[in-house]
A = this chain, B = another copy of it.
Amino acid sequence: MRGPIEFYFDFMSPFGYLGSVEIERVAARHGREVDWRPILLGVTVLKAMGLPPIPTIPLKGPWLDRDRERLSSLLDIPVRKHGLRGVNSLVAARAFLWIKARDAALAKRFGQAVFARLWTRGEDITPVEAVLAEAAKLGVDARELGAALETPELKADLRNAVDAAMAKGVFGAPFFICDGEGFFGVDHVWMLEHWLRHGHFNPARGERAGG
């Protein structure tokens, strides 16, 4: 029995949304679990890397727009390009961690609901009220969660989660770690699935699965 596939995401990223759907399909095909782990891309990870927000990078930004459309088609996962400004995933990420500490399966459903809110309905996920509304729909006690969101403990939990991710080499979203192998981007899932199917990258070259 192998461990879960670690799935690092930021609700802000449409590629993260595509990855969230696709990795569950791939994991199910191979009898593996997916462990959802929120990170904050812009304000922490990219800052540590000395990079600006990726969509703002000349040439790369427009290409990513087209790549999102193509991957959406290829994976058959509709993505709405919302016109919202100033979207921030901080509160949603904290809420995710709080729910996960109590019920990991429920947290995944919450994560899926937040992703769908932003990327299929095009509704904001920034305000506390929006986050609490998605949690309440799943039976989470919104008053208890709302109170937890203000605590220094939960804020520290998220900071620590992001630090732990970077310590493992995570530098973007979606990012997957499977049996110690890191895969960045939904466009890399074909390599992850090759790994799941064969346990190595190329037997002819003598490279075999570790562990």
- Each complex incorporates copies of this chain amounting to 2
A59, A73, A182: residue with the most chain B Cβ atoms closer than 10 Å? A59
Of A62, A74, A187, most B-chain CB atoms within 10 Å: A74
Q: Which A117-171 residues have C-beta < 8 A from chain B? A: 166, 169-171
Report whether A59 and B171 are in contact in the complex, using a CB–CB cutoff of 8 Å.
yes
Known: A48-B58, A63-B184. A202 touches B73 (CB 8 A): yes
Does A201 belong to the interface (CB within 8 Å)?
A: yes
Check if B205 sits within 8 Å of A73, measured CB to CB: yes
A46 to chain B, nearest CB (A): 10
Q: Please give, as numbers and ranges, the residues of chain B lying within 8 Å of A202 by CB-CB distance.
A: 73-74, 76
- Interface stretch of the complex, out of A13-21, A90-98, A108-116, A188-196: A188-196
- Report whether A169 and B76 are in contact in the complex, using a CB–CB cutoff of 8 Å: no
Contact partner of A76 (CB less than 8 A), chosen from B171, B194, B205, is B205
- Interface residues in A57-100 (C-beta closer than 8 Å to B): 57-60, 62-63, 66-67, 69-74, 76, 78
- B59 near A169: Cβ-Cβ < 8 Å: yes
A-B CB proximity, top 7 nearest:
A59-B171, A73-B202, A73-B201, A73-B207, A73-B205, A70-B201, A74-B201
Question: Contact at A50–B59, with CB atoms within 8 Å?
Answer: no
